[in-house]
């Protein structure tokens, strides 16, 4: 067989089924908690997503694991959820204060 007619070998770079190493567990947890914060665990899930997201970024940086994008997404979801909960809480408190001020003595 002629060298110019040979098929290229499939290395992990060209193999579409190749799997990257294990991702950071903290990054996966941060992303899942960030999603949960917007669906079933408002505020608590956001705080937990922030804590695990920062731990994941440290783990990715120190150990070189994949998962930086998941950690960043979890942090964004967590911070925006906590901000939305604080704004909603302040708005609710303001509405209740204004609403009760119109009650007769």
pLDDT tens, 41-88?
999 999 999 999 999 999 999 999 999 999 999 999 999 999 999 999
Question: Does residue 8 belong to any structural domain of this protein?
Answer: no
pLDDT for residue 1 is more than 70 = no
Q: What is the pLDDT of residues 13-46, one digit of tens each?
A: 555 555 567 889 999 999 999 999 999 999 999 9
Does 6 score more than 70 pLDDT? no
Angle (nearest 5°) at CA 48 between 84 and 26:
130
Total number of domains constituting the chain: 1
Q: Who contacts 60 (Cβ-Cβ below 8 Å, separation ≥6)?
A: 24, 27, 66, 67, 68, 71
| Secondary structure element (H or E) that encloses residue 80, with its range | helix 68-101
Which domain does 66 fall in, by range?
A: 23-101
Q: Is residue 7 part of a domain?
A: no
For residue 72, being part of any structural domain is answered with yes
Q: Is residue 5 part of a domain?
A: no
Question: What pLDDT was estimated at residue 100?
Answer: 73
């Amino acid at each position: 067989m002629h060298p110019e007619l040979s098929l290229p070998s499939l290395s992990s770079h060209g193999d579409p089924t190749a799997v990257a190493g294990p991702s950071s567990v903290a990054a996966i947890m941060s992303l899942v908690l960030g999603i949960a914060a917007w669906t079933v665990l408002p505020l608590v899930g956001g705080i937990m997503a922030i804590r695990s997201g920062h731990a994941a970024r440290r783990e990715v940086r120190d150990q070189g694991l994949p998962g930086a994008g998941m950690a960043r997404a979890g942090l964004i979801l967590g911070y925006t959820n906590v901000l939305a909960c604080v704004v909603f809480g302040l708005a609710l408190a303001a509405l209740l204060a204004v609403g009760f001020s119109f009650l007769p003595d």
